[in-house]
Structure 1
Amino acid sequence: MTAALAVDGLTAGYGGAPVLHDVTVEVAPGALVALVGANGAGKTTLLRATSGLLAPAGGAVRLDGQDLRGVGVEDRARRGLAHVPEGRGVVVELTVDENLHLGGLWAHRGTAARRAAVEDVYALFPSLDRRRAALGHQLSGGERQMLAIGRALVAGPRVLLLDEPSLGLAPQVVAQIMALLRARCDATGLAVLLAEQNVAAALSVADRGVVLDLGRVVVTRPATDLAHDEALRHAYLGF
């Protein structure tokens, strides 16, 4: 089976200083892969280089087998690669419903398809359904994170890149978001690459874990194996 997302030998950095060194990661359709490691390991850089926000110095990114070299951020999004950066970015002056519709506009979806996709997100996140008319700045941190993820889903991606969705959220909200992501992968075939410092939460729902250390992949194993490997956890994951 062709990987939904294949990152092959990616090298990238800032101002000529490399952060990633020959990183290779694959995500199959319907799989959730947890990208874990200490702060500064290169997780955010990898997602930025994958989505096109950062030009890599070497390597390739393929979406459903198609090489994305030379393809810009917007075109990658239209082809089915969605990126939710760290920080729960939503348009705080717009309502929940307006924010969600922006996701459909970005993907150039028609009105009927966009409305259906928005309703699908409301079914996935009932707390957003109850707050359709609320402005972005009126939402809790958890609701903003759900809205950021929901807006990406309205675009109908095949691959979703998520950067630290649990940051600053209460444990029960984190558990809810992780469970919903797992359910989405299982139900729709969505492929998710999840960069997360809450290692235990990420591995609890992931199929595989990829451990980054100083910009290099040091371990790729089934998530349950990583979660139960005490020596590896102490060496790289801090729990």
Structure 2
Amino acid sequence: MTAALEIRRLTAGYGAEPVLREVSLQVPDGQVVTLLGANGAGKTTLLRAVSGLLPTTGTVLLREQDLSDVPPEQRVRRGLAHVPEGRGVIAELTVEENLRLGGLWRHGRTALRERTDAEYQRFEPLARRRKALGHQLSGGERQMLALARALVAAPDVLLLDEPSLGLAPQVVHSIMQTLRDLCDSTGLTVLLAEQNAAGALSIADRGVVLHLGEVRSDGPAAQIAQDEALRHAYLGY
């Protein structure tokens, strides 16, 4: 199966000591691949490195195009979207303004209107609150908005960092199911970083377990979920 995103021997960090050490993995077209591991495993660092927000060595390929010298905004134009941990909503802007901002790099005015309308249909609570400011939304609504804003750009590959953080289980289930449905219906490719291993594995095609910046396991999600020794050693359940 074709890899929408391929990472080869990626090393990255925030100082002299790297957080990631020669990480390699593939995200097949139209699949959900979840990055798993404890705090400090390197999940967020990996997503930031792929987005171009950190200096790296190694190679990142988006549909076989090398992104090594491509700045972050150009990676968005080429079809990469990133929803960071903390949801990334601009609190002073309305729901409508946040969504429009998400499509600036990828669409003309008509296409942007069509894309925002599509996200209002997908996330009905946002349609009812389109004039509300970001800081007036609930945690679940903010996560919906962050995801919708990324989807307005019609990405080929979505990087999503800890979407379940601080949310009620019912909201988490809804967001996870939305991701699965998007991949099945539109062919979206998702690299999902999650500490909620059980929830992420339930909707993922593959799982990659990181520990201290290195890949400890990479395989089918169902296989990782059933590996009791692996779960106890690295996933905490």
TM-score normalised per structure 1: 0.97
Determine if the alignment matches structure 1 residue 216 to structure 2 residue 204.
Answer: no
Residue 232 of structure 1 is aligned with which of 222, 230, 233?
230
Q: CA deviation at 1:55?
A: 1.2
Partner Cα distance (1:227, 1:127) in 2: 32
**Offset of residue 17 of structure 1:** 0.8
Would you say the 8 A contact 1:2–1:65 is kept in 2?
no
CA distance in 2, matches of 1:15, 1:215: 14
Q: Over the residues paired in the alignment, what is the CA RMSD in angstroms?
A: 0.9
Structure 2 counterpart of 1:157: 155
Deviations 1:149-178 (A, max 9, x none): 110111111000001111000011000000
Q: Please give the secondary structure, in 2, of the residue aligned with 1:168.
A: coil
Please, which moves more after superposition, 130-139 or 62-71? 130-139
1:47 matched to 2:47: yes
Q: Tell me, which stretches of 5 or more residues in structure 2 are unaligned?
A: none
- How far apart are the structure 2 equivalents of 1:76 and 1:61? 11
> What are the within-5 Å matches in structure 2 for residues 70-219 of structure 1?
70-107=69-106, 109-219=107-217
Tell me if structure 2 keeps the 8 A contact 1:160–1:190. Answer: yes
Residue-pair matches, total? 237
Percent identity, aligned pairs only, is 67
Aligned to 1:66: 65
Q: Secondary structure at the match of 1:106?
A: coil
AA of the residue aligned to 1:68: L
Partner amino acid for 2:46? L
CA distance in 2, matches of 1:124, 1:5: 25
Cα deviation 1:20-50 (Å, max 9, x = unaligned):
1110111112100010001100001100110
Contact 1:23 1:217 in 2 (8 A): yes
In 2, the alpha carbon distance for the partners of 1:29 and 1:189 equals 7
Which segment drifts farther, 137-146 or 120-129? 120-129
Distance 2:9 2:86 in 1: 28
Deviation of the 1:106 alpha carbon: 3.0
Q: Which moved more, 1:170-179 or 1:93-102?
A: 93-102
1:9 matched residue in structure 2: 9
**Structure 1: unaligned runs, 5 residues or longer:** none
In 2, Cα distance between the equivalents of 1:155 and 1:84?
12
Aligned-pair CA distance for 1:191: 0.5
Q: How far, CA to CA, are the matches of 1:207 and 1:126 in structure 2? A: 27
Question: Which piece of structure 1 moves more, 89-98 or 31-40?
Answer: 89-98
